[in-house]
Amino acid sequence: MDQGSGAGPHRDRGRLGAPSCGARAPGAPWARFSAWLECVCVVTFDLELGQALELVYPSDFRLTDKEKSSICYLSFPDSHSGCLGDTQFCFRIRQCGGQRRPWHTDDRHCDSGAPVSLQREPAHYFGYVYFRQVKDSSVKRGYFQKSLVLVSRLPFVRLFQALLSLVAPEYFDKLAPCLEAVCNEIDQWPAPVPGQTLNLPVMGVVLQVHIPSSADKPESGPPKQCSHKNLPPAPVVLTSVHELDLFRCFRPVLAHVQLLWELMLLGEPLLVLAPSPAVSSEMVLALTSCLQPLKFCCDYRPYFTVHDSEFKEFTTRTQAPPSVVLGVTNPFFIKTLQHWPHVLRIGEPKMPGDLPKQIKLKKLSRLKTLDTKPGLYTAYTTYLHRDKALLRRLLKGLQKKRPSDVQTAVLRQHLLELTQSFIIPLVRPGRQGGGRRAGGAGSRLWPRLRLTPLPPQEHYMASLMPLQKSITPWKTPPQIHPFRQDDFLRSLERSGPQLTCLLKGDWLGLYRRFFKSPHFDGWYRQRHKEMAQKLEALHLEAICEANLEIWMQDKSEVEIVDLVLKLRERLVRAQGHQLPVKEATLKRARLYIETVVGSLPKDLQVVLCPP
């Protein structure tokens, strides 16, 4: 086994690590492995060096020195946590030095069908950690300390935690041979294609998972287990690859869930101080999942230490605090980040049963560097009134000993409907006098909602699309109208969130603040991109439905060649799943290209279609 991540001599597929120039072709070693994981790391404690990177699999995966350092420090709980035994948690780090492995076509296909909140991270790595610290008299320091880390771009925390629970204990006993076998098994897994239920064999166990798709309907109850007939051995069914036990995570802050939802929606800086990396990372991931199906567009770090390479960037006082949710365990951050507007201090987790004492809202001036009591320290005032019925419903569930997954389903549905009610006025298509909007009722700008049906009024984002009758084959597609905040706010009177949500409050004020947040910018860019792709697809359809022979009668060779090149460019984009185009339209476009090229002189045909 090679140490670190240095490149060694070429190896065949059965051995770990083969040097490459960065890209792994679909038939190359570790191509299937890299659809799930970037690499697997082993971090140990060295008496002279401290945390040290012992192994990286595959050994050809190149980590920068800064990434290695971050992985080493973040893979161990800091001294304030005192974690004995086995602990699982996760971290998220910024990729350094640009993209080193071009994504496969399959990767883009998977992302195109996935919910935006579950797509691959283009600029960050997740680290899923299984840490073991036990007494060991044979070790000089008296303790065995080692972490097994799965590095991935996928936010599948439940899946990778389950995988670590199977692999890590065995690895700590048998070491390298076990890990090599596991990596080879993962390299046989099918790709994580959205909408599919997959059986993933590892170490004699089959994990059965459903990969979420943007076409999936939101669940109103606890997830249902898939059938697993005729599968020897009987699989371990994971009800979700990514969803945490939201009720367990939020137990101490249930009274403030709505306030925390607003802070997340507005991209407010939030420091989460927890007793351990496990509690810290789960709380941060739970908070960032509050906005689903919206993508969380701000930075977040489930576990963060003073050794992180971005420590100075996040703690500087020369500018406003960045829009980041930071999970820490070191009380030193209370002093360092005194200028941050919101701090959530969590105590030790309580045993399941009765609802634990709810943390209180406290003034920031009451923050103490040492011995800060649990509480939500903030001066923030919510725009919306608190939904007291939710807390009563959850308390009633506790009294009736309702299972935690049912309580989580209640809480998740509440947050889902709250987010959807906020976003519906921005995106839900409706009717418009004067013609049908391009990408109207059939548009995929937003998934179908399982909420109270809305009256057929125009909703704002749909109104920015040009009329479909204005799209003609031989002219440039019309422009999308600009988003005007005042026009949108005026539209709320007839089509606002009050149509789907009973909560009262200052919705206008919440929207105005939202427009200044990173989430609005990220949301609008994504929607504008989808609308532009829809317009381009409709324009391609209009060209394919037109009479090409009549158009070509009075056109020069330059104009005809220009048409061929543009059609080819759009075919490439459509085939790369970047345009929502039907297969029948693609076939017509290919036929059009053949027809047009066949009408040109032989010398031009050779240029456009070289042998």
pLDDT digits (tens, 9 = 90+) for 450-486: 333 333 333 688 888 888 888 888 788 888 999 999 9
222 pLDDT tier (thresholds 50, 70, 90): very low
Mean pLDDT of 373-392: 91
The winner for highest mean pLDDT among 101-115, 233-247, 358-372 is 233-247
Q: If DSSP states are collapsed to H, E and C, what string results for 362-377?
A: ECHHHCCCCCCCCEEE
**What pLDDT does 28 receive?**
60
> Which among 87, 240, 221 has a CA at the least distance from the CA of 158?
240
Residue 39 has pLDDT above 80, yes or no: yes
Which of 393, 398, 387, 408 lies closest to 219 in space, CA to CA? 408
Give me the pLDDT at residue 418, please: 93
Tell whether 43 and 69 lie within a shared domain.
yes
Rg (CA), the chain: 27
Q: Taking residues 151-179, what's their average pLDDT?
A: 91
**Residue 268 and residue 251: Cα distance in Å, rounded?**
22
Scan for tokens 């790391």, then name that residue.
41
**In angstroms, how far is the first alpha carbon of the chain from the final one?**
47
Residue 374 predicted with pLDDT over 80: yes
Percent of the chain clearing pLDDT 90 (strictly above): 38
Closest listed residue to residue 292, CA positions, set 178, 404, 420, 405: 420
Cis preceding-peptide flag for 58 (omega within 30 of 0): yes
Per-residue model confidence (pLDDT) at position 103: 44
Burial class (CB in 10 A: 0-12, 13-18, 19+), 221: exposed
Residue 17 lies in a domain: no
Q: Mark whether 580 and 597 lie in a shared domain.
A: yes
Summarize the confidence of residues 251-264 as an average pLDDT: 94
Question: What is the distance between the alpha carbons of residues 326 and 73, in angstroms, rounded to a whole number?
Answer: 16
What is the reported pLDDT for 149?
97
Q: Would residue 584 count as lying in a domain?
A: yes
The residue type found at 354 is D
pLDDT confidence band for 145 (50 / 70 / 90): confident
Q: Domain of 122?
A: 31-191
Q: What is the pLDDT of residue 510?
A: 95
Last residue within a domain, chosen from 484, 506, 539: 539
Tell me the pTM. Answer: 0.84
* pLDDT (0 to 100) of residue 259: 96
Q: Is the pLDDT of residue 611 over 70?
A: no
Look at the block and give the residue holding tokens 């990596």: 183
Regarding whether 603 and 501 lie in a shared domain, the answer is no
Query: Quick one: what percent of the chain has pLDDT higher than 70?
Result: 82
Q: Span 318-328, mean pLDDT?
A: 92
**Sequence-distant (≥ 6) Cβ neighbours of residue 164 within 8 angstroms:** 88, 128, 129, 130, 148, 150
CB burial of 294-308 (b: ≥16 within 10 Å; e: otherwise) equals bbbbbbbbbbbbeeb
In a domain, 426, yes or no: no
Q: Is the domain of 39 the same as that of 177?
A: yes
- Determine which of 33-47, 296-310, 420-434 has the lowest per-residue pLDDT on average: 420-434
Residue 424 confidence (pLDDT) above 80: yes
Alpha helical stretches, state H, 359-498:
388-399, 404-427, 460-463, 485-495
Residue 217 resides in a domain = no
Residues 507, 389 share a domain: no
| Average pLDDT estimate for 10-16 | 38
- Which 8-state DSSP code applies to residue 147? E
Ranked by mean pLDDT, which of 159-163, 192-196, 494-498, 585-589 comes out on top? Answer: 159-163
What angle do the packed helices 485-495 and 507-514 form, to 10 degrees? 150
Residue 240 inside a domain? The answer is no
Q: In terms of domains, do 304 and 359 share one?
A: yes
**Model confidence pLDDT, tens digit, residues 229-240:** 555 567 899 999
Q: Is residue 453 part of a domain?
A: no
Q: Choose one of 497, 517, 539: the last residue of a domain.
A: 539
- At 171-213, the pLDDT tens digits run 988 777 788 889 999 999 999 999 999 999 999 999 999 999 9
> For residues 488 and 22, which has the higher predicted lDDT (pLDDT)?
488
Kindly state whether residues 101 and 58 are assigned to the same domain. Answer: yes
* Most confident option among 101-105, 372-376, 592-596: 372-376
Q: How many CB atoms are located within 10 Å of the residue 103 CB?
A: 17
- Which DSSP helix (H) or strand (E) runs through 165? helix 157-174
For 420, other C-beta atoms within 10 Å of its C-beta total: 23
- Given this model, what pLDDT does residue 458 score? 39
In the predicted model, is pLDDT for residue 108 greater than 70? Answer: no
139-153, 230-244, 420-434, range with greatest mean pLDDT: 139-153
Per-residue pLDDT, 80 = 64
Tell me how far apart the alpha carbons of residues 163 and 203 are, in angstroms, rounded to a whole number: 10
